[in-house]
Amino acid sequence: MTSVRIPPKEITGLYGAIVKKFASRMLGQVPKSFGVMWHHLPVLKASMRFGQKVQKWDQCDESLKSYSHMAVASLVGCSFCLDFNYFMAHNRGVDVDKAREIPRWRESAVFTPLEREVLGYSEAMSQTPPTVTDEMVASLREQLGPAALIELTTVIAFANLTTRSNTALGIESEGFAASCGLKPMAQSSARPVEATAS
């Protein structure tokens, strides 16, 4: 387990009071990550604004977007994003039994063929270099439509921004899912070297 690499700063001021109130209402606590990001308030504000805008998009199914973010988090190793998105899945009415299986989606029998394609696409986008194929995009475009696929792709890109930032800064799970009684996330038996659609 990594410790936070930049110590959290005290959250102060009027904006700080708003952030604390919002976080406490939504999460039951103020995450340490807010204190870390408080060192550069414009970055925190921009990230929060963009994250709020992403949540308002409605061309792609909410479950697919949630699962895709968690697939990226699992691949990258961001325990904060896995925990947070599992918690949010519970709050948004997304199937939490499926959500908890994301780390072992290839081995799990709970996902539909479309969900498996989305998870494979999420991982393929997150490889360096990306391993997305024409066939992956064509299949998802046919099933979801162009607008939903563009939305899904941008959600996956945003997930890479947040998961990689958190991982680099040592920001880890703060137990959001456990605090509302959710079962622990399933553990993968193996991490794939190259992501492909199943």
Q: Any idea where the domains of the chain sit in the sequence?
A: 8-56, 59-198
Q: Tell me the residue type at 179.
A: S
Per-residue pLDDT tens over the stretch 21-34: 999 998 889 999 99
Confidence at 2, pLDDT banded by 50, 70, 90: low
Residue 122: CB partners within 8 Å, gap ≥ 6?
Answer: 67, 68, 69, 71, 72, 75, 156, 159, 195
CA distance 62 to 115: 12
The mean per-residue pLDDT over the stretch 80-105 comes to: 92
The mean per-residue pLDDT over the stretch 147-162 comes to: 98
Per-residue pLDDT tens over the stretch 74-88: 999 999 999 999 998
Q: What CATH architecture applies to the domain 59-198?
A: Up-down Bundle (1.20)
Cis check for the bond before 42: say yes or no (omega within 30 of 0).
no
